[in-house]
């Protein structure tokens, strides 16, 4: 009887806890594995949703600009007003930004070919030291463009703002947008949503790593356009109306 009690005590004191510990360990490992599978599943689902959303937004924007993009001044339709979308004149290493140079060249070419009568230059003037519209105006004058036909929009902080302000501030419902092809596509889509009849004159594209990085950012920018409309986003600033002569 005494030996039986000793055995029972040993079993209860040592073996049962060991068995329970082993069971708990296996149970915890199983929970951890299930959590890992759940997290992996959520991540995969999220990635798939992001990819599908990005593809769909891109497709809609590309389709919206079909037959509205031009590279030849001989065949592009006339519009009274052009919209030159701003960008920085210099890159991070203080070199001339080729996106900027190509846009200036395209805008000058369009004006000299009499395919637009006036030009709105819309860009970022967020600080006293950073002024895209003034820089573009100066370089267009150097290209022989009459300053009297140039109108400056200092609150074009984003493409979205530039297009909406063209209608709200400058009173235009028809325009030729001047930028690179990928940029024109997005701007034309925004214009179509705002009831603006827009076409695009494509400046030369930029290759290399700079062009590749810009195109990657463009994919995200296209998704953001739909979020802007979904949440009824407005331009950062509006202000007094500016009259462009007929």
pLDDT class of 40 with cuts at 50, 70, 90: confident
CA diameter of the chain = 115
pLDDT one-digit tens code per residue, 184-218: 999 999 999 999 999 999 999 998 888 888 888 99
pLDDT class of 6 with cuts at 50, 70, 90: very low
Q: In 3-state terms, the chain is what percent helix, strand and coil (to 5)?
A: 55, 15, 30
Q: Which residue blocks in 11-131 are alpha helix, DSSP H?
A: 16-64, 98-112
Contact (Cβ atoms closer than 8 angstroms) between residue 159 and residue 190: yes
Selection from 92, 111, 95 nearest residue 178 by Cα: 111
Q: Which residues pair with 83 in a beta bridge?
A: 120, 177
Residue-wise DSSP of 132-159: HHHHHHHHHHHTT--GGGEEEETB--SH
What's residue 31's pLDDT? 73
For residue 101, what is the DSSP state?
A: H
Question: pLDDT exceeding 70 applies to what percent of the chain?
Answer: 89
Determine the average pLDDT of the residues in 21-46.
75
pTM of the complete model beyond 0.85: no
Contact (Cβ atoms closer than 8 angstroms) between residue 201 and residue 240: no
For residues 78 and 122, what is the distance between their CA atoms, to the nearest angstrom? 20
Homologous superfamily (CATH) for 69-230: HUPs (3.40.50.620)
* 92-99 contacts at long range (C-beta below 8 A, 24 or more positions apart): 98/204, 98/206, 98/210, 99/180, 99/203, 99/206, 99/214
What's residue 25's pLDDT? 63
Structure token digits, residue 224: 């953001």
Lowest-confidence range among 40-44, 165-169, 184-188, 225-229? 40-44
Determine the average pLDDT of the residues in 214-230.
92
Determine the average pLDDT of the residues in 238-245.
93
Query: Sign of the C-alpha dihedral, residues 13, 19, 23, 25?
Result: positive
pLDDT one-digit tens code per residue, 61-112: 999 999 999 999 999 999 999 999 999 999 878 899 999 999 999 999 999 9
For residues 123 and 136, what is the distance between their CA atoms, to the nearest angstrom? 9
pLDDT class of 128 with cuts at 50, 70, 90: confident
Contact (Cβ atoms closer than 8 angstroms) between residue 119 and residue 146: no
What's residue 18's pLDDT? 56
Domain boundaries, the chain: 1-64, 69-230
What's residue 10's pLDDT? 43
């Amino acid at each position: 009887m005494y030996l039986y009690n000793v055995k029972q005590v040993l079993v209860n004191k040592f073996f049962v806890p060991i068995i329970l510990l082993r069971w708990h360990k296996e149970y915890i490992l199983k929970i951890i594995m299930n959590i890992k599978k759940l997290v992996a599943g959520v991540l995969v689902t999220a990635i798939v949703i992001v990819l599908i959303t990005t593809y769909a937004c891109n497709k809609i924007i590309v389709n919206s600009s079909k037959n509205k993009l031009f590279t030849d001044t001989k065949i592009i339709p006339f519009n009274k007003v052009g919209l030159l979308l701003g960008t920085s004149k210099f890159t991070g290493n203080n070199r001339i930004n080729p996106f900027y140079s190509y846009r200036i060249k395209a805008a000058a070419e369009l004006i000299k070919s009499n395919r637009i009568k006036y030009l709105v230059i819309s860009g970022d003037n967020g600080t006293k030291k950073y002024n895209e519209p003034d820089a573009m105006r100066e370089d267009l004058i150097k290209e022989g463009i009459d300053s009297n036909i140039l109108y400056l929009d200092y609150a074009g902080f984003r493409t979205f703002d530039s297009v909406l302000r063209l209608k709200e501030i400058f009173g235009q419902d028809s325009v030729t947008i001047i930028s690179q092809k990928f940029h024109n596509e997005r701007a034309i889509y925004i214009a179509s949503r705002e009831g603006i009849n827009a076409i695009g004159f494509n400046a030369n594209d930029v290759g290399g790593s700079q062009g590749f990085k810009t195109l990657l950012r463009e994919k995200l920018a296209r998704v953001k356009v739909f979020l802007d409309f979904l949440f009824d986003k407005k331009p950062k600033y509006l202000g007094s109306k500016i009259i462009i002569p007929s």
